[in-house]
């Protein structure tokens, strides 16, 4: 399926191209520990068990997520995925997630013979089902910042994707930021217009960039496997010449939701 995305740059006080919706504060991480009434589950998910660092904690009223994934050492094909995150309680009711985000650090040990995807941090969620009732056929979207290992040092892409039945669309890139830049990201399901609306605000320049990600899936059935996460991920290249790894360290804060 070919996606036709629309991108627009706005001042922070501009109107985003989505239905009017009241957002309410979900969590500002003002407790010592992660609030179990807000976060139904948490995960460290190393593929093939290859991880060392994995952090999920509240630090200075922000959610601190860190993960380091490693590649396999017996092949130069493919990558090894790993991540850390927390999942929203009652996520099936949530149509919009907005959160502050800053990626504090990314460390990469690449492989000359096998390019690596890199790292990411952001929002991921299932929103509806295609009508089959099978959780494997749920559809959703993600929005966050990504770093590919071939990118200039310190640069991050702000990008979104839609997915259905585990198949992801091409990346929809709406901007770039540098590591350490505080931003606010918003992912919203605009069901009447059969699209997801994505945006980010650079909190240093106060400029918001927004776009739309249309989809062609049937969206009238409720999600069968509800899940929405704040997460960080790394994809380390498999490599026979050296041990590869991808490390990402991010802070999330002031999470708002809309129903």
pLDDT tens column, 1-30: 445 555 554 433 334 444 457 899 999 999
What six digits make up the tokens of 7?
Answer: 């991108």
pLDDT at 183: 98
pLDDT at 21: 72
100 part of a folded domain: yes
215 part of a folded domain: yes
Q: What angle do CA 247, 178, 232 make, to 5 degrees?
A: 35
167 part of a folded domain: yes
pLDDT at 47: 80
Low-confidence ranges of the chain (pLDDT < 50): 1-2, 9-19
68 part of a folded domain: yes
The number of C-alpha atoms within 13 Å of 14 and in the hemisphere containing its C-beta is 16
Question: Who's near 38: CB < 8 A, 6+ residues apart?
Answer: 26, 27, 88, 89
**Which 8-state DSSP code applies to residue 154?**
T
What domain range is 155 assigned to? 6-258
171 part of a folded domain: yes
- Total number of domains in the chain: 1
Q: Please give the model's pTM, rounded to 2 decimal places.
A: 0.91
Question: What percent of the chain clears pLDDT 70, i.e. is strictly above it?
Answer: 92
CATH of the domain at 206: 2.60.120
1 part of a folded domain: no
């Amino acid at each position: 399926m070919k996606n036709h995305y629309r991108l627009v740059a706005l001042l922070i006080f501009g109107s985003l191209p989505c239905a009017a919706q009241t957002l309410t504060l979900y969590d500002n991480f003002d407790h010592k520990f992660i609030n179990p009434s807000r976060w139904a589950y948490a995960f460290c998910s190393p593929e093939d068990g290859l991880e060392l660092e994995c952090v999920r904690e509240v630090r200075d009223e922000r959610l601190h997520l860190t993960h380091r994934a490693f590649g396999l050492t017996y092949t130069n094909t493919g990558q090894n995925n790993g991540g850390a995150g927390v999942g929203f309680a009652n996520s099936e009711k949530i149509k919009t997630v907005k959160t502050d985000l800053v990626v504090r650090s990314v460390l990469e040990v690449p492989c000359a013979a096998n390019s690596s995807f890199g790292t990411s941090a952001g929002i991921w969620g299932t929103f509806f089902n295609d009508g089959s009732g099978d959780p494997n056929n749920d559809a959703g979207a993600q929005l966050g910042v990504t770093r590919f290992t071939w990118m200039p040092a310190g640069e991050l892409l702000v990008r979104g994707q839609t997915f259905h039945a585990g198949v992801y669309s091409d990346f929809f890139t709406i901007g770039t930021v540098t590591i350490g830049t505080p931003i606010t990201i918003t992912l919203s399901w605009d069901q009447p217009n059969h699209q997801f609306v994505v945006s980010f605000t650079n909190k240093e320049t106060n400029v918001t960039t927004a776009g739309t990600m249309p989809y062609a899936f049937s969206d009238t059935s409720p999600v069968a496997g509800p899940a929405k996460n704040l997460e960080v991920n790394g994809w380390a290249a498999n490599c026979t010449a050296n041990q590869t790894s991808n490390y990402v360290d991010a802070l999330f804060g002031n999470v708002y939701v809309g129903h």
